[in-house]
Amino acid sequence: MQILHPFAGSVQQYTEQLSDPDCCRPDHCPQCHTKHPLSAHGFYTRTLIDTAYDGVIRVRRYLCQACQRTVSLLPEFVLPYLRSSLTVIALFLIARLLQAQTLNGAAQTALPPMPYQRGQFWVRRFRAQAEALCAALAALTQPAPAPDFVHRALAMLESTGWIAAHRFLFAGVRCHLLGWPRGLAPAGRRAAFSAADAPA
Ligand SMILES: [Zn+2]
């Protein structure tokens, strides 16, 4: 299961903090709710594209001794299962959907520039998720007057701050800002006996 690393800062600050396993060690298991601090359980690596970073970051994992399941602590600037940082995705969505730039234009002016298909994929997922975002974010901010859910969701994200909104959505209500990939909906957890996990 993935939860958020309770830390806001740059990629570099995140990397520096990672060496200390006690820094953000969860004091209980979010899966079986045993009230016992989790054990450090190594790292996994994932790629990250941020406005000034394109490389691999480590993500710390902890193990619950009671239920033997792992918990990984994702930094707040990433969305689960997406390579680009939340900032990169937000800048693209604003350029394309609020400022009405063309797909290609928004992709060319994005930091770093990228193939437009990647942005198109985010836009598609964001459109599908917009109504649910408006409903969930109403707990944080006043729904803004807007012609449609896409514009309203963007206005609400801008007023809340994208990272603060992501923290609330992911940690609070297990909602993915762009929607969970198929198979992990509705709460980002793998079904216990999904076909993909079954031994061959
Ligand atoms: Zn547990």
CA of 124 to the centre of ligand 1 (A): 36
pLDDT bucket at 193, cuts 50 / 70 / 90: very low
- Distance (angstroms) between ligand 1 centre and the Cα of 57 equals 25
In the chain, the amino acid numbered 149 is F
- Would you state the pLDDT for residue 200? 42
Kindly give the distance from the C-alpha atom of residue 3 to the centroid of ligand 1, in angstroms, as a whole number. Answer: 13
> Could you tell me the pLDDT band of residue 109, with boundaries at 50, 70 and 90?
confident
The CA 106 to ligand 1 mean position distance, Å, reads 44
Of 61-70, 83-92, 187-196, the one with minimum mean pLDDT is 187-196
Dist CA 86 CA 163 (whole Å): 7
CA of 189 to the centre of ligand 1 (A): 14
Across residues 121-129, what is the average pLDDT? 96
Q: Output the CA 31–ligand 1 centroid distance in Å.
A: 5
CA–centroid distance, residue 37 to ligand 1 (Å): 10
E strand or H helix at 47: strand 39-50
Q: What is the DSSP letter of 79?
A: -
**pLDDT higher than threshold 90 for residue 54:** yes
**Per-residue pLDDT at 190:** 66
Average pLDDT, the chain: 89
> Are 89 and 157 within 8 A, CB to CB?
no
Direct distance between the N- and C-terminal alpha carbons of the chain, in angstroms, rounded to an integer: 23
State the distance from the centre of ligand 1 to the C-alpha of 188, rounded, in angstroms: 17
Identify whether 186 is preceded by a cis peptide bond (ω within 30 of 0).
yes
Chain length of the chain: 200
What's the 36 CA to ligand 1 centre distance in angstroms? Answer: 9
What is the three-class DSSP state of 179? coil
The predicted structure's pLDDT at residue 191: 55
Residue 73 CA to ligand 1 center (angstroms) comes to 15
Measured in angstroms, how far is the CA atom of residue 1 from the centroid of ligand 1? 10
- How many whole angstroms from 153 Cα to the centroid of ligand 1? 35
